[in-house]
Amino acid sequence: MERIDMPLMVQDALARFSRNRTGDKPPVSLILTPGFPPVVWPDRGLKDFVRYFLYDCLLSCNPDAPIKIALRQRPLLNDLSTFLGIHASYWVHLQVSGRGIRIVERFIEELFADVGYRCNEWIGVEGSSAQLGIFGAIDAPARKLVFCIKATAARLSCELFVPVEQTEALPAPAPSNDVLTERSPERHGALISDN
């Protein structure tokens, strides 16, 4: 199991992009939900996909067009959960949008394949230019990630939806004769810290 600090991963990808891209860079705005919990995921595929996707997306975008990156936690997406046949406690929603983004379905399929996920299908949304891609882990097809590409005349939006099941509980405290002090919460904070 991987514990993924999504806000830190997004910030690291931005920092790496800023260091490595030569020449003009597009202005990037970042929106992060405060208090974002670590995401527990069964494999490295999610972590690697997010890092590679953000980096490649930013590296190849038009330097004159602003890019917006948003990372949010969504409580329920009932229609999507029902369609996929999965139960999620909540969804992680990563969105990258702007006029200068150059992403196509084939690139997304290859990127997912590189991290161990196979495209199950691309679905068109009636009356919209949106394409919804369903990707399953090669070694566990029931583990799914969803990717949406929406194109309008003015901008392209790429959205990753991650279903998260809140099944991990904190370990039960070991029996102890310690007297609780004001410092105890700091000591127990290490159990839930991502560091």
Q: What is the CATH number of the domain that holds 24?
A: 3.30.565.10
Q: How confident is the model at residue 127 (pLDDT cuts 50, 70, 90)?
A: confident
User: Which of 30-39, 105-114, 146-155, 167-176 has the least mean pLDDT?
Assistant: 167-176
Mean pLDDT, rounded, for 59-72: 91
The pLDDT score that the predictor gives to residue 125 is: 72
pLDDT greater than 70 at residue 56: yes
Give me the number of domains the chain comprises: 1
What is the number of alpha carbons within 13 Å of residue 44 lying toward its C-beta?
A: 5
Mean pLDDT, rounded, for 104-113: 94
Residue 154 structural domain: 2-192
Q: Which residue has the tokens 């199950």?
A: 120
Q: How confident is the model at residue 63 (pLDDT cuts 50, 70, 90)?
A: confident
The pLDDT score that the predictor gives to residue 167 is: 57
The pLDDT score that the predictor gives to residue 77 is: 86
From CA 117, how far away is CA 111, in angstroms rounded?
A: 9
Model pTM score: 0.81
- 110 or 102: which carries more pLDDT confidence? 110
Q: How confident is the model at residue 49 (pLDDT cuts 50, 70, 90)?
A: very high
pLDDT greater than 90 at residue 172: no
The pLDDT score that the predictor gives to residue 193 is: 31
pLDDT greater than 50 at residue 41: yes
